[in-house]
Amino acid sequence: MNPPAGWKFVVDHHPPDWRFPAGQTWIAGTIQAESGNAITDLRAWLDKKVSFGLHGLPRHGEAGLPYSGFSFLLAPPSDATVLRLEACDLTGRWIEFFRTSIKASPEPTPAPTRIRLADSLSALIPDLLRRAARHPERTLASIADDLVTAMDAEPLNAFPNPPFIGALEEPTQIGRVEYCRLSVVGWLTHRTAKITRLTAIVDPLYEVPLAYGNARADIIGKFPELTQHANAAFVGKVDLPAGLNRPILLKIFATLDNGEKHLAFAQRFQPGLMIGAVPTAPPLSVCQFSRAVWTLRCAASRLGLPTTGVFRAGRAAWANYTGKPLPKSAAPGATPHRDQPLRILVVTHNLNFEGAPRLVLELASYLKRQPGISLRVISPTEGPLRALFENAGMAVTVLNVAPALRATTAEEFHVQLNILSGTIDWSGVDLVLANTVVTFWAVHLAHRVRKPALFYVHESTPIPRLFAPLVAPGLIPVVAETLTLAQRVAFTADASRQVCSAQNQRANFRVLPSWLDVAGIQQFSRSHDTASLRAKHGFAPDSIVLLNLGAVCERKGQHVFLQTAELLEPEFRVRFPKRKIEFVMVGARDDEFLRALKTKMADAKLSTVRFVPETRENYDFHRLADILVCTSFEESSPRVLLEAAIFGTPIVSTDVNGIPEMLSGRDAWLVEPGDRYVLAEAIRQALAAHLAGNTTRADLARQTITSRYDERVSLPRHLALVRETAALAPGETAL
């Protein structure tokens, strides 16, 4: 058959006349996609059974990416008559590029292990529905075929052969992933030559150096003959583009002192999310869910897979997908408001000038302006927001909660909590308002002294994963219990509520929109022009400013922004020869992550990237920017997007957690997190619209955000929730 236009391939290693002997046989060749594309995966079909191959291997002296070599290790069954090879490109399309008749050995081969669809149904359904939502141009059946095929496919891994010796310890079948970055750990040495460099490839267009040469004392204990090779450990983080097929193939290459480059490891793995956005599946009806189950069953049947027990598994999958249904007593109703004077104890997890404390400062200031409401503030740490709280008429107390948080058991925690409770004057408290899940201890205090509690949860990370590095394992159930103890738990994004849905056992969860001072931003825009702000911060008047605003950290994904700059800088230099393009990251902190970004910037010789320290002048940068780019892996209701929308700045953003609840594809350019190629294309489109004077999406974004998030609209709803919660008796939750 003919390959797609612009593709080049050759299968130059195969059995003579395609007659396969008994046992396993290697076939190999090269394949290159058309210009601007690349091969992300390969698979071989022998009738209804599929096997993955190794792709992206250096061949014929290739010096740069993408490498074109591939290989398969096949053992056709005796009745196999046709071999088909398919390649997946950067768009996720599987394309057949080679087909031939074969003659298999008549000797019987062991029957391949086949999966049961029922065993994997709960995991497949959310994946199917998420992919269908992202790719409306594809049929549900075609997506189901790809998912079931990948689940059943035989992987091909590779490990060191002598004179190499080593072990890949991470990843194994499951990879540890934090913010779309894979942890890679192991050791490797060569008995006669020196390894000068180790690199890893997951993305076919991106080769990542691994830190190599650290000591591993345990190697000598296991292999005494390797005394001269003790410094053989390697470690690194490899970025995972969001669109890769699963299981994902990791390749590690070793370069020797004679210049030879060898494949040392190839490992297929399923990503295991440790830190990062929990993917949320779209809501659906029973009818839609049943259709998804039936579509997956049909895909399994086409592959000849067993489908027994699928419908029984479907019932369990529905329970996993939707969570525990609310009790009948959860029907919403009216709660009398409390009109008498209300004394609120506000608890913030710190007093830093950052997102969540700023939000509670704004909420508390609004509440303070209401007749009959008084507030005081508790924080476990000191910080610059103390002055702003005090200027708004709220006393601030710093409370040492460290002994309670250092507890290793629930019993020890409650002992410390009892001591802590005695340091607070509860006689002047009608309601405890605890802001962020990190203030869980305040809800337990309120429960202990029988005061109603309103608990604001801004995080979109499951409690066990969020608190694993923060508290002892024995305290994690205590944290989870907080969601049932609070009379009301408030979320500003439904995606955050979904993450905690298992704890919504008392119908006490509420979702309300966040808030924004729209009038204040409009006044700032009228009184500050772009030219003067650019001069103030050292930007050329005609430069194109792509702004990433927010604390520079792994969760915010600035490493993906930097990789995108690496992709776009050469292109923009040609497209805009007389204008300076600047990729600006505002919110830099002097830490290891920032230093790693600066090292990467220097290695890539990027001249268009600028880091700006954390600042209170966020509005300045909103006003002077051309495009706002959000690369976060995890967000609930990010303030930066609300602000950008009111400033009228075109928005390119990841669509994680609560972001799609704020903005749709009509309002902004939304992309999956961690994929530099998709992000680069979205920036191209947003910039083209901006330079052409097309403000359609920016105008819609401003209308959307103003109608729902203007504080004049949303804060009264939060006031109503405050009064509703304060009117509840201690221990009361459901209406």
Are 237 and 181 in contact by the 8 Å Cβ rule? The answer is yes
pLDDT band at residue 330 using 50, 70 and 90 as cut-offs: very low
Between 101 and 507, the higher pLDDT residue: 101
Tens digit of pLDDT for each residue in 370-404? Answer: 999 999 999 999 999 999 999 999 999 999 999 99
Tens digit of pLDDT for each residue in 493-548? Answer: 888 888 888 888 778 999 999 999 999 999 999 999 999 999 999 999 999 999 99
The pLDDT of 78-87, averaged and rounded, is 94
Q: What is the CA radius of gyration of the chain?
A: 29
Least confident of 89-98, 425-434, 613-622: 89-98
CATH code of domain 1-112: 2.60.40.650
Between 636 and 148, the higher pLDDT residue: 148
DSSP string, 580-643: -EEEEEEEE-SSHHHHHHHHHHHHTT-SSEEEEE--S-HHHHHHH-SEEEE--S--SS-HHHHH
DSSP single-letter state for residue 508: -
CATH architecture of 342-515+714-726: 3-Layer(aba) Sandwich (3.40)
Task: Using a pLDDT cut of 90, give the percent of the chain over it.
Answer: 63
For CATH 2.60.40.650, list the domain ranges present in the chain. Answer: 1-112, 113-322
CATH architecture of 528-709: 3-Layer(aba) Sandwich (3.40)
Among candidates 650, 663, 652, 651, which has minimal Cα distance to 690? 650
Helix (H) or strand (E) holding 568: helix 558-575
With 80 as the cut, is the pLDDT of residue 101 above it?
A: yes
pLDDT band at residue 705 using 50, 70 and 90 as cut-offs: very high
pLDDT of residue 699: 95
Q: Within 10 Å of residue 334's Cβ, how many Cβ atoms?
A: 7
Sign, CA dihedral 117-284-639-643, equals positive
Mean pLDDT (the chain, rounded):
89
pLDDT of residue 522: 94
Are 511 and 532 in contact by the 8 Å Cβ rule? The answer is no
With 90 as the cut, is the pLDDT of residue 681 above it?
A: yes
pLDDT of residue 226: 65
pLDDT band at residue 311 using 50, 70 and 90 as cut-offs: confident
Fold classification of 113-322 (topology level): Immunoglobulin-like (2.60.40)
Are 308 and 116 in contact by the 8 Å Cβ rule? The answer is yes
- Give backbone dihedrals phi and psi of 449, rounded to 5 degrees, phi first: -100, 10
Tens digit of pLDDT for each residue in 152-210? Answer: 898 999 999 999 999 999 998 889 888 888 999 999 999 889 999 999 999 888 899 99
pLDDT of residue 540: 94
pLDDT band at residue 281 using 50, 70 and 90 as cut-offs: low
With 90 as the cut, is the pLDDT of residue 620 above it?
A: yes
pLDDT of residue 227: 59
pLDDT of residue 220: 65
pLDDT band at residue 109 using 50, 70 and 90 as cut-offs: confident
The pLDDT of 415-422, averaged and rounded, is 93
With 50 as the cut, is the pLDDT of residue 333 above it?
A: no
Q: What is the distance between the terminal CA atoms of the chain, rounded to a whole angstrom?
A: 67
**Entry pTM:** 0.73
For residue 628, which amino acid is it? L
Sheet holding 431-435, edge to edge: 395-398, 373-379, 342-348, 431-435, 453-457, 488-491, 509-511
Helix (H) or strand (E) holding 526: helix 518-527
pLDDT band at residue 421 using 50, 70 and 90 as cut-offs: very high
For CATH 3.40.50.2000, list the domain ranges present in the chain. Answer: 342-515+714-726, 528-709
pLDDT of residue 331: 32
With 60 as the cut, is the pLDDT of residue 268 above it?
A: yes
The pLDDT of 114-138, averaged and rounded, is 83
With 50 as the cut, is the pLDDT of residue 336 above it?
A: no
With 50 as the cut, is the pLDDT of residue 338 above it?
A: no
pLDDT band at residue 273 using 50, 70 and 90 as cut-offs: confident
Between 366 and 500, the higher pLDDT residue: 366
Between 122 and 350, the higher pLDDT residue: 350
